[in-house]
Amino acid sequence: AQTVTQSQPEMSVQEAETVTLSCTYDTSESDYYLFWYKQPPSRQMILVIRQEAYKQQNATENRFSVNFQKAAKSFSLKISDSQLGDAAMYFCAYTRNQGAQKLVFGQGTRLTINP
């Protein structure tokens, strides 16, 4: 079975600084997708960024980028120029690349932005 582990229950960063959230996963599959979801106090699940396992290039979305290390099964999220609106729970998630598949989530990291 696939598992996703986030070892940082809480992180904090000063506004405008950079923060990195860690995620490791375990799978025997070679073709899969990894995600970072943001869950603000509204509890809405918002997709932040997606990485395809067969792509070596790390995904980027504006201030958000990932460091995908396939051999190490590591998938960290870097948030640059942190903003107050980035404060939320962040979940790392995995799914197999076989059409519609369920998401397996990590335990989450609560990110606080200090003004």
Partner 1 sequence: AAGVIQSPRHLIKEKRETATLKCYPIPRHDTVYWYQQGPGQDPQFLISFYEKMQSDKGSIPDRFSAQQFSDYHSELNMSSLELGDSALYFCASSPPPRGYTEAFFGQGTRLTVV
Q: Which residues bind partner 1 (CB under 8 A)?
A: 33, 42-45, 47, 50, 52, 91, 97-108
**What are the counts of helices (DSSP H) followed by strands (DSSP E) for the chain?**
0, 12
> Closest CB to partner 1 among 16 and 47?
47
CB of 19 to partner 1, least distance (A): 20
CB of 86 to partner 1, least distance (A): 19
> Closest CB to partner 1 among 99 and 115?
99
Q: Which pairing describes strands 3-5 and 60-61: parallel, antiparallel, or unpaired?
A: unpaired
CB of 9 to partner 1, least distance (A): 10
Which tokens sit at 34?
């990894």
Please say whether the beta carbons of 91 and 101 come within 8 A: no
**Amino acid (one-letter) located at 48:** V
> Closest CB to partner 1 among 38 and 86?
38
